[in-house]
Amino acid sequence: MNICFIMYPWETINPEHDTSLALIKECVKRGHGVAMCSPANLTIRDSVTNAFCNVIGRMEKVPSTLKSFYSKAKLREEMLPLAGFDAIFFRANPPLDPIMLNFLDSVKDDVFIVNSLQGMREANNKLYTAAFGDAHSNIIPNTHVSKNKEYLVQQIKDSKADKMILKPLNGFGGSGVILIEKSAMSNINSLLDFYISTGEGETNYVILQDYIDGADKGDIRILLLNGEPVGAMRRVPGSDDHRSNVSAGGSIQKHTLTKAEKALCKQIGPKLVKDGLYFVGIDVIGGKLVEVNVMSPGGITYMNKVYKNKRKVEEKVIDFLESKVLDKLQAFDRRARLRKTVEEA
């Protein structure tokens, strides 16, 4: 099997904790061909979509640790047609580049893509989470999304709570997530001006969300594969930051899914699969869905570390990828046989 990872640059990887690196290492360990490219390296040659790739050379013996694998991996540059791969694993960081999706549209029928292009179009920002909320389910915190500063200020004033969460629509890794309090209303206008205005005549959407009791104790990151949870961990904020993201100084603790969290996964899983969102990270606080991460969900290395399971999360992910590629190849073969039967009739 040959897999292309569309992701962030190789040189920016943290070799001890990077989820993409764990997935790549597992592929190489199984003897699969692996190439990597960034969204900016897609191109069209003779009407065929290609990518300027870094191809990982075959290894006789794959190092046991991520850090050693990263240091010993030999890369060579090749321009390769994307339709020649069996699978494309999308791992680029937000925001989503719509032009990149247009490139990939030309190969979506030939290659199995994780996650699906249409799914990423719908779910690449935090608006997707609102799709799971309604007057009956109550699985997401009360949420407002707007560019209208006056509207957002009024929602803060009308809120029964003393605290709310403010964050940019396209942020990731905890970037820009702040806790606001009614006692500091004099700062709200300037904060909203900063978040909404780009300074170039354009404006950004921001999210205003009810603060959930217990958020100060952290959140739960759950990885879902084909709609089912395959790993979870508790992320605890640092002493001087309300955010629990590891990139923002949070720490990791072992976590066993509660009955409510299992029910939440069961409720949203079918929609994720229907939308082609096979590998997803969700963030949960107090049993409520806070975010759905579909572009480059992380946490595999931390989950492996705290659980010390013999079967690591990346093994389950690549098992799934292999099965979907096999299904697609078998469908191609069956179609070819049936076409030959008709042609020879």
30/27 Cα distance (integer angstroms): 5
As a whole number, mean pLDDT of residues 44-53 equals 97
> Given CA atoms 17, 271, 214, 256 in this order, what sign does their dihedral have?
negative
Pairing mode of beta strands 87-91, 112-114 = parallel
pLDDT at res. 65: 96
Does 337 fall in a domain?
Answer: no
Q: At what angle do helices 19-29 and 300-307 cross, to 10 degrees?
A: 80
User: What integer pLDDT is reported at residue 247 of this predicted model?
Assistant: 55
The model's confidence at residue 94, banded by pLDDT at 50, 70 and 90, is confident
Tens of pLDDT, residues 148-197: 999 999 999 998 888 999 988 877 767 788 899 888 888 888 889 988 98
Is residue 52 in a domain?
Answer: yes
Please check whether residues 83 and 102 belong to one and the same domain.
Answer: yes
124: confidence class by pLDDT, cuts 50, 70, 90? confident
* Domain membership flag for residue 121: no
Domain extent, residue 50, equals: 2-114+314-332
Say what the pLDDT of residue 110 is: 94
Which DSSP letter does residue 248 get? G
* pLDDT for residue 299: 95
In a domain, residue 127? The reply is no
**Residue 176's domain is classified under what CATH number?**
3.30.1490.20
| Judgement on whether residues 206 and 257 belong to the same structural domain of the protein | no
Do both 191 and 239 map to the same domain? no
Whether the pLDDT of residue 199 is over 90: the answer is no
Residue 323 has pLDDT above 80, yes or no: yes
Tokens 């490219």 sit on residue = 37
Separation CA 255–CA 303 (nearest Å): 9
The whole-number average pLDDT for the span 93-122 is: 94
Q: Which of 132, 102, 95 is nearest to 117 (CA)?
A: 102
Average pLDDT value for residue range 79-108: 95
CATH number for the domain including 294? 3.30.470.20
Decide if pLDDT at 246 tops 90.
no
Same domain membership, residue 97 and residue 176: no
Strands 251-253 and 228-236 turn out to be: antiparallel
In the numeric block, the tokens 């396209």 are attached to 170
Per the domain annotation, does 87 fall within a domain?
yes
Both 327 and 293 in one domain: the answer is no
pLDDT, average across residues 111-133: 88
| Structural domain count, the chain | 3
How does strand 48-56 pair with strand 75-81? antiparallel
Helix 313-344 with 300-307: angle, nearest 10 deg: 130
The answer to whether residue 85 scores a pLDDT higher than 90 is: yes
The candidate with the shortest Cα–Cα distance to 288, out of 151, 148, 163, 137, is: 137
Q: pLDDT by residue (tens digit) across 255-300? A: 999 999 999 999 999 999 999 999 999 999 999 999 899 999 999 9
Residue 82 within any structural domain of the chain? yes
Tell me, yes or no, whether 102 lies in a domain.
yes
Q: Where are the alpha helices (DSSP H) in the chain?
A: 19-29, 66-72, 98-105, 117-123, 149-158, 188-196, 259-274, 300-307, 313-344
- Check: pTM over 0.85? Answer yes or no: yes
Do residues 264 and 220 touch, judged by C-beta distance below 8 A?
Answer: no
